[in-house]
């Protein structure tokens, strides 16, 4: 089945009150895990490719892998999304390559510059029937000292009034908001805390606009423990509880990005496999083990987001 528009996916999610999982991929095994999990559970899914993934594996190669896997699941409802496009040129190249959705991330720019670049992408993408995700408010990488509640600076959070102006001026189809999450596996030093009140205010200001939550991996303790037991140095890693993400869906969050959870689970599984099988040199063995774990993890995410069986 060809990639679908996220506009239709989000409309159904908003009407029925669930969120759709958006999973990043870098290679064949991750694509297989995503597609198999969605196909077996009849769940809608968004497959995401970042600029870094495109540089690593090649845009054409990754798109071809995704299309090939989807041919074996003809009824699967899925979109192919450019994650965190840093420029108009990156988004344009993704559209030319066949992506059905792109994100232009101007969150690090001034408000006016963000509006300008987002509008430019929207004007081009909409002519090609491609949807556009934008971001207002800034998510901080794992190198940032986030303090007790996630993002340290109040200025990094999304302003509800500015969100309304931004959407009206740009015409973007969905908006990624900052309410306390961050990228990477070290999202919180203390108890996880998201500003759901702010999210509710944003949703009230733009009730018909699909909202997106980035930096939403839960960093499950099971895989943190497994990874550290087999040599990883990630003690203190902590993510967003799945129960909190489910609450966020009540306030317009219809797309939840998941990347670090997949990285952590695959890394932990491969470390464990190599420790237990020191003589193994066949990549198919340990990559296959990682793929199988990812499939189960993704199904778990479908359940947590409420989109299981909603395709």
Cα 183 from Cα 142, distance rounded (Å): 6
Cα 85 from Cα 194, distance rounded (Å): 25
Closest CA to 207 of 269, 173, 252: 252
**CB within 8 A of 250, min separation 6: which ones?**
17
Catalytic residues: 83
**Dihedral sign computed on CA atoms, order 12, 16, 21, 22:** positive
Cα 43 from Cα 154, distance rounded (Å): 36
Q: Answer yes or no: are the C-beta atoms of 177 and 213 closer than 8 Å.
A: yes
């Amino acid at each position: 089945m060809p990639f679908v528009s996220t506009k239709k996916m989000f409309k159904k999610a908003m009407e029925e009150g669930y969120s759709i999982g958006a999973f990043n991929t870098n290679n064949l095994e991750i694509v297989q895990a995503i597609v198999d999990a969605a196909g077996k559970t009849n769940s809608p899914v968004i497959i995401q490719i970042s600029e870094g993934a495109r540089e690593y594996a090649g845009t054409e190669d990754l798109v071809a892998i995704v299309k090939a896997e989807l041919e074996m699941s003809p009824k699967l409802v899925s979109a192919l999304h450019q994650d965190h496009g840093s420029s108009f040129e990156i988004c344009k190249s993704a559209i030319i390559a066949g992506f059905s959705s792109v994100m232009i991330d101007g969150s690090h720019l001034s408000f006016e510059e963000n509006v300008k670049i987002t509008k430019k992408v929207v004007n081009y993408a909409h002519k090609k029937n491609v949807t556009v995700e934008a971001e207002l408010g800034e998510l901080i990488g794992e190198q940032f000292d986030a303090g007790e509640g996630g993002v340290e600076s109040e200025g990094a959070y999304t302003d509800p009034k500015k969100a309304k102006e931004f959407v009206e001026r740009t015409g973007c189809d969905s908006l990624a908001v900052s309410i306390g999450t961050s990228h990477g596996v070290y999202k919180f030093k203390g108890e996880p805390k998201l500003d759901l009140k702010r999210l509710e205010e944003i949703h009230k200001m733009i009730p018909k606009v699909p909202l997106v939550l980035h930096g939403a991996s839960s960093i499950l303790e099971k895989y943190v423990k497994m990874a550290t037991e087999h040599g990883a140095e990630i003690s203190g890693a902590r993510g967003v509880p799945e129960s909190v993400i489910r609450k966020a869906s009540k306030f317009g969050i219809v797309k939840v990005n998941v990347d670090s959870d997949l990285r952590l689970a695959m890394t932990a599984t491969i470390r464990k496999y190599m420790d237990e099988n020191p003589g193994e040199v066949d990549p198919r063995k340990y990559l296959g083990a990682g793929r199988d774990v990812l499939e189960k993890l993704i199904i778990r995410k479908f359940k947590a987001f409420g989109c299981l069986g909603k395709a």
